[in-house]
Amino acid sequence: MGTMKAWRLYQPRPAETSPLVLEEVPVPEPEPGQVLLKVHACGVCHTDLHTVEGEIRPPRYPITPGHQVVATVEALGLGVTQVQVGQRVGVTWLYHTCGQCDFCRRGLENLCPRAQFAGFHADGGYAEYMVAWADYVFPLPEAVDDVHAAPLLCAGVIGYRTLRVAEVQSGDTVALFGFGASAHLVIQVLRYWGNRVLVFTRSPKRQEHARQLGAAWAGHPQEDPGERVDRALIFAPAGEIVHRALQVLRPGGTVAINAIYMTPIPEMPYDLIYQERGLRSVANVTRQDARDFLELAGRLPIQTTVQPYNWRQANEALADLKVGRIVGQAVLVME
Ligand SMILES: [Zn+2]
Ligand SMILES: [Zn+2]
């Protein structure tokens, strides 16, 4: 079917050294049950940064990163009836699961030991085309255009799972630690539900962004907000933040950590977690999370803050993400 351009990672290296290589490769063929997708936009996520820099290692190289993919269906593999050619769909981090293990059967396919992730086990969306399983692509809300839809697919969906894992209830006051791609979508869901939100971030620019999106309070992580919170969600991969989140948490509250990678959590006194405070991590997403969140995102409708890059600037986008130069979400836009 001809060739296409794709960004490939041969070996992990620091983002500022341009680790991705743009290559001409064959357009992939969809297997039975798969679809060929023409990529329109692809979000640039911290997980991509962890992949290119080697904090997490895919099972094979080279690999094409990218797991927040907005695309149209270009061709169908054998037996595909769930989607049509020309339909706009999104791909998330969850590329495939076994469907048979205890986790898959209990609605915890995000924990499937045989789960495959887009742009990690399989080539992702930093390319003109990719293949995906028809059962693992999702229709996107019509109210949101391609570039603004990309952040919904990882930052949004996993942020939504973080709200679920933290068991946020109506009336809860919720603290967000870190205010990047995921948190700026989570705050909109929380405000829609009527929750009070406090935002902890070092960056004055992001504190301002948080206030614009309805934060009741925004300040430096070491500042005292003058109140305790019912839930705290952590979006910064820094272990010491866990202490700070537990310090502002009321007894019986929950801290949920949204990170695939985190620096070690320093030793802590038992008092920090005593009185039934809970500490949970969030791993991956389920298809139900994606369906529920995308439906909600269309209903709000959610506003995503994006920093678009021509897709030929994938290395620049990753380097900018590394140094915290992105407000909202970096998105690669195809030509
Ligand atoms: Zn991601
Ligand atoms: Zn499974």
Q: In which element (H, E) is residue 155 found?
A: helix 155-165
Q: What pLDDT was estimated at residue 181? A: 87
Name which of 221, 224, 177, 175 is nearest 202 in CA terms: 221
Ligand nearest to the CA of 107: 2
CA of 93 to the centre of ligand 1 (A): 6
Ligand nearest to the CA of 48: 1
Q: What pLDDT was estimated at residue 225? A: 96
Q: Where are the beta strands (DSSP E) in the chain?
A: 3-9, 20-26, 34-44, 69-76, 88-91, 94-96, 116-117, 129-133, 137-139, 173-177, 196-200, 217-219, 229-234, 249-258, 278-282, 306-310, 329-333
**Backbone angles phi and psi of 162, in degrees to 5:** -60, -40
**What tens digit of pLDDT does each residue of 138-186 get?**
999 999 999 999 999 999 999 999 999 999 999 999 999 999 889 999 9
Placement of tokens 């109506």 in the chain: 170
Q: In which element (H, E) is residue 240 found?
A: helix 240-248
Ligand nearest to the CA of 284: 1
Give residue limits of the domains in the chain. Answer: 3-153+305-333, 157-282
CA of 302 to the centre of ligand 2 (A): 31
Give the residue ranges of the chain where pLDDT is below 50. none
What's this model's pTM, rounded to 2 decimal places? 0.93
Q: What pLDDT was estimated at residue 335? A: 85
CA of 270 to the centre of ligand 1 (A): 32
CA of 226 to the centre of ligand 1 (A): 33
CA of 203 to the centre of ligand 1 (A): 22
Name which of 157, 3, 10 is nearest 69 in CA terms: 157
Token code pair at residue 3: 């060739």
The C-alpha angle 128, 289, 321, rounded to 5 degrees, equals 50
**What tens digit of pLDDT does each residue of 47-58 get?**
999 999 999 999
CA of 69 to the centre of ligand 2 (A): 23
Ligand nearest to the CA of 330: 1
CA of 101 to the centre of ligand 2 (A): 4
CA of 94 to the centre of ligand 1 (A): 10
Q: What pLDDT was estimated at residue 1? A: 67
Q: Where are the beta strands (DSSP E) in 156-248?
A: 173-177, 196-200, 217-219, 229-234
What's at 283, amino acid-wise? A
CA of 16 to the centre of ligand 2 (A): 37
CA of 123 to the centre of ligand 1 (A): 14
- Helix, strand, coil share (%) of the chain residues, nearest 5: 30, 30, 40
Question: Of how many residues is the chain composed?
Answer: 335
Q: Which protein residues have their CB within 5 A of the ion that is ligand 2?
A: 97-98, 101, 104, 112
Ligand nearest to the CA of 113: 2
CA of 136 to the centre of ligand 2 (A): 14
Asked whether 89 and 83 are in contact (CB, 8 A), the reply is yes
CA of 154 to the centre of ligand 1 (A): 5
CA of 138 to the centre of ligand 1 (A): 16
CATH 3.90.180.10 fits 3-153+305-333, yes or no: yes
Q: Which protein residues have their CB within 5 A of the ion that is ligand 1?
A: 45, 47, 154
CA of 155 to the centre of ligand 1 (A): 6
Looking at domain 157-282, its CATH architecture is 3-Layer(aba) Sandwich (3.40)
